[in-house]
Amino acid sequence: MPDHPGPATPGGRALPDEPPDELVEAQLLAIRAAETIAASARPGESEVVVHRRAGEILRDLGATGVWSPTTVGFGAGTLSCFPTDLPGDRSLWNLDLGIVDVHPVTARGGWGDCTRTLQQGANPAQQAARQAVERIHAAVLAAATPGMRACDLFAVFQQELARTPYLLLDRLSNIGHSLGAGTSYDEGYLDAWNTTELRGAWAVEPFIGNHLYGVKREDVVWFGRTRCQVIAP
Domains and CATH numbers, the chain: 21-230 (3.90.230.10)
- Among 10-19, 68-77, 170-179, whose mean pLDDT is lowest? 10-19
What are the pLDDT digits (tens) for 154-196?
Answer: 999 999 999 999 999 999 999 999 999 999 999 999 999 999 9
Burial class (CB in 10 A: 0-12, 13-18, 19+), 102: buried
Of 171, 182, 181, nearest to 67 by C-alpha is 182
Q: Where are the alpha helices (DSSP H) in the chain?
A: 21-40, 47-60, 124-143, 150-161
Distance CA 129, CA 108 (A): 37
What angle separates helix 21-40 from helix 47-60, to the nearest 10 degrees? 140
> Confidence class of residue 12 from pLDDT cuts 50, 70 and 90?
very low
**pTM of the predicted model as reported, rounded to 2 decimal places:** 0.93
Strands 214-216 and 200-204: unpaired
Rounded to whole angstroms, how far apart are CA atoms 116 and 83?
15
